[in-house]
Structure 1
Amino acid sequence: MADQFHDSALLQFAHASGVFEWTTTPCAAPDLAGHMGWVSRKTAIFLNALVAIGLLTKDTRGQYLNTPVADECLVKSRPGYMGGVIEHQRLQWDTWTRIGDVLSTQDVLPWHQEQRLRTDAAANDAFHSAMRNLARANVPALLALPIPKGRKHVIDMAGSHGTYLAAMAHADSELTGEVWDLPGAQRLARETFDEYGCAERCAFHTKDITVPASYDGVKADLVMLNDCLHYFEPEMVSDVLALAAGVLAPGGTLLLATQLLHADGVTPAPAAGFSMHMMLNTARGGLHASPWIAQRMGDLGFSVSEWPLDPTGRYVVLLGKRNDGARAH
């Protein structure tokens, strides 16, 4: 366990250096060293280590080539490119050396996302690109949810890149919608709307979902709260759910995507790790147990069902249907 970070460091450095762009075709260590300005002997050792962790292959002539998974996920031109996620995690190194600092204070710290994404353009781009990379894989399951097509207005609250809204609009020509988020997400959201051909029907609005005034005069048929409640403490989660429920038209739907966390706060193991990630990266963050969120939705008058959002079962959708006559509290 103590040396697992070695593999992460290899992956993240190789990606950031552009190694996998050069090894889409067979490439010898001296050739790559020449391109990069590296020492040839050391480059061969480095590439051999990438072979050992399954990211490259090496043939009998000493030439290196991407493995299928590296070629699909680590080359910018490929449809399955996950570079945003890799870069976002690379930028976590310093944060994870500061566990003691985080445990000792309630304050917003300089490396927290509340601060860093406002001032560090590269970190902001990496974050929103990472969220888009992850969302793309979930789109088929999202579109398969039992949400009737037809004329409706959708608000994707804290929707960042807008991929979920754009995919829904692309699949349903009568759907209109808007993404609410902070200014750093605007460029990527608009790019996503253009990519999906829905820029005429979808808009980005700079809004803070924790501020009640953001909701004044707003109505929607479907509200999405996807992968955002882990930024807040439980009291704020309850407040945001109530505010979101309050804008729904009669018969409206509240759709909430989250990593699955059981009531014990420990299982599944990746969820406990992600909760730690959120604690380190935000002043008030931490993943909330899915049954607890479902109960809060039930308290607001929703009948809640749970749906898988990815093949691993790591992500789920809590789909809330407003009970007849129910009102938000």
Structure 2
Amino acid sequence: MPRPTLPRLILLRRHVTHSARSPTALPTLTRSLTTTPALSLPSSSSPRQLTKASSSPPSSASASTSTFSTINASEISHFSNLSSQWWDEDGEFKLLHRMNPTRIEYIRQKVALQPSDEEEWSFENRHTDMEREAKRGSGLWLSGKRCLDVGCGGGLLSESLARLGGEIVGVDASESNIGIATTHAQQDPQLSRQMASGQLRFTHSSAEVLRDAGEKFDVVCAMEVLEHVDQPGEFMKCLGEMVKPGGHLILSTISRTPLSQLLTLTLAEDVLRLVTPGTHTYRKFVKPHELRRFVFSDMGGYDTWRKNENASDIRKDEVGETRGIVYDPLAGKWKLWGGVEGSFWKGVGEGCNYMYHARKRT
């Protein structure tokens, strides 16, 4: 099994002035997401007030300050050292390149194929049902949607989303990653035009900066990032606050199981060296049910987020859908895992890498 995560670490440490307070001086409270010690989350007793969405570009917000930082400086340094390999499809990020189409398909299913987005049926339009169904999720299905790629790395996901018609903002904690992303996109005429028009932007900034500036998005993505931040609860709340009403929050991460420890750490890092040793820390992995329960308990629950439109809404104290993403070494491809909600088979598929989706109420 390949290395499940890749360095798309986000939430970079803000540029602070000499007069800024040290992060260690900030008072924090912690609470456990579950009974397990792996995920310690700051209390939500002091919610921040968001300002009206700023019309200034995200890059202009990078000079602002934040009350806390969830990033880990050593992780940023680690990933920055690997930035030159981002577009080597046979190098450090080989498996991420192979994973990208599958993640795009998951985003398409959640953003473009939502049943609630269908036009209301009537006798007048019934003869166009098949035609309209065939067009759903095809072509530029992100047109008119503003998307945030947090921890964009070298721009792999951002470029794909831009080609689908969205207005894309990619942010990363590593300045060298942003340099690679910008340079690579400029080599493509279409992407270069989109960058010139502001439809595609890469900026050395953080989710915190954008949140504090009042930025809002139709789709907020954070792929392979949650397991690299120091305060996953604050990070999740930061992402959730940037999702517009009716918008989507989509993540990919790793579950904390014996299987993920075997595949991600022992095999991928220590034995096969598919991933640079030290890339992952087992205790930072988050189980699917821990993530769903946290969104329910600390991010507004069903008052803020919609119930799922499938069998997973039988869970009364969890928000969102999780779905395994599994690598097939024979086909050399990643595949979305199936299975009935709550079944053993579905749980097996989520034993290592998995996707998460939740949609905000309008």
1:216 to 213, 217, 225: 213
2:347 is aligned with 1:319: no
> Residues 177-256 of structure 1 correspond to what in structure 2 (within 5 A)?
177-181=168-172, 182-194=174-186, 197-199=190-192, 200=194, 201-209=199-207, 211=208, 215-233=212-230, 236-256=231-251
> Residues 1-329 of structure 1 correspond to what in structure 2 (within 5 A)?
112-116=74-78, 123-126=82-85, 132-145=93-106, 146=109, 147-148=111-112, 149=141, 150-170=143-163, 172-173=164-165, 175-181=166-172, 182-194=174-186, 197-199=190-192, 200=194, 201-209=199-207, 211=208, 215-233=212-230, 236-259=231-254, 261-262=255-256, 265-268=257-260, 269-271=262-264, 273=266, 280-281=278-279, 286-299=284-297, 300=299, 301=301, 302=305, 303-312=319-328, 314-322=352-360, 324=361
- 1:141 Cα deviation after fit: 1.7
**Partners in 2 of 1:127 and 1:165 — Cα distance?**
13
**Partners in 1 of 2:250 and 2:182 — Cα distance?**
22
TM-score (norm 1): 0.53
TM-score (norm 2): 0.48
- 1:124 Cα deviation after fit: 3.8
Q: Is contact 2:75–2:228 with CA below 8 Å preserved after alignment? A: no
Q: Secondary structure at the match of 2:153?
A: coil
Deviates more, 1:291-300 or 1:148-157: 291-300
**RMSD of aligned alpha carbons:** 3.5
**Partners in 2 of 1:288 and 1:223 — Cα distance?**
19
**CA 1:151–1:279: 2 relative to 1, 3 Å:** same
**Partners in 1 of 2:218 and 2:168 — Cα distance?**
10
- 1:136 Cα deviation after fit: 1.9
Q: Is contact 1:156–1:165 with CA below 8 Å preserved after alignment? A: yes
**Partners in 2 of 1:115 and 1:218 — Cα distance?**
27
Counterpart code for 2:146? H
Q: Secondary structure at the match of 2:159?
A: helix
Q: Is contact 1:117–1:184 with CA below 8 Å preserved after alignment? A: no
**CA 1:239–1:168: 2 relative to 1, 3 Å:** same
Counterpart code for 2:169? E
Q: Residue deviations 1:154-177, cap 9 Å, x none?
A: 11011112211211221x22x111
- 1:275 Cα deviation after fit: 9.7
Q: Secondary structure at the match of 1:218?
A: coil
Q: Which one has a larger percent helix, Structure 1 or Structure 2?
A: 1
Q: Residue deviations 1:45-86, cap 9 Å, x none?
A: xxxxxxxxxxxxxxxxxxxxxxxxxxxxxxxxxxxxx9xx9x
Q: Percent identity?
A: 11
Q: Is contact 1:254–1:320 with CA below 8 Å preserved after alignment? A: yes
| Aligned length in residues | 205
Deviates more, 1:176-185 or 1:141-150: 141-150
**Partners in 1 of 2:210 and 2:179 — Cα distance?**
24
**Partners in 1 of 2:104 and 2:83 — Cα distance?**
28
Q: Which has the larger radius of gyration?
A: 1
Structure 2 residues without counterparts, runs of 5 or longer: 7-72, 113-140, 306-318, 329-348
**Partners in 1 of 2:176 and 2:283 — Cα distance?**
19
Counterpart code for 1:241? M
**CA 1:284–1:257: 2 relative to 1, 3 Å:** closer
Q: Is contact 2:171–2:205 with CA below 8 Å preserved after alignment? A: yes
**Partners in 2 of 1:144 and 1:127 — Cα distance?**
21
Q: Is contact 1:132–1:161 with CA below 8 Å preserved after alignment? A: no
**Partners in 2 of 1:232 and 1:153 — Cα distance?**
24
